[in-house]
Amino acid sequence: MAQSIVPLVVVLLAGSLALSNANGSGGGFNNLVNPVFCQSKADGLYADPLDSHSFYHCSNSQTYRKQCPANLVFNPAISVCDWPEKVAPVTTQGITVPPFVANFCEAKADGMFADSQNSNAFYHCSNHNTYHKLCQQGLVFNQGLGACVWPSQGV
């Protein structure tokens, strides 16, 4: 009788360990939903705008919706599941975003770069593709850290 071997994917989320096998059946941890969510996004983790306890994992233009362990919420500033009191509140009202430069990354190396027109935004360059992203409301992009931080932590 032949046995199949399925590799395990180990994900560390704010001190909690979640296991999922490569075919996505890890206790409901990996759920493919909203297949168009990641079409124009770089590989990475993104907050679910409708559920703070969930997040999207984008990989090769595939969309995977994942749940944080019990009592944790997704912290987009550091891309991990975290304690709720450590996560800035999310609001979708009152945000005005100036236009961005579509070809910003043409001559840049991969990485994240501050948007000089908006301290709440940054450019993510991947394979010379430009992805314009926003920090959570109340946070600013820190070029030195390559992350969104509280304004008191500096730009």
Sketch out the chain's domains with CATH numbers: 1-87 (2.170.140), 89-155 (2.170.140.10)
Give burial (CB, 10 Å; 0-12/13-18/19+) of 17. Answer: exposed
Which of 39-53, 68-82, 83-97 shows the lowest mean pLDDT across its residues? Answer: 83-97
Percent of the chain with pLDDT over 90: 5
* 113, 150 Cβ separation under 8 angstroms: no
Please tell me whether the overall predicted TM-score, pTM, comes out greater than 0.85 for this model.
no
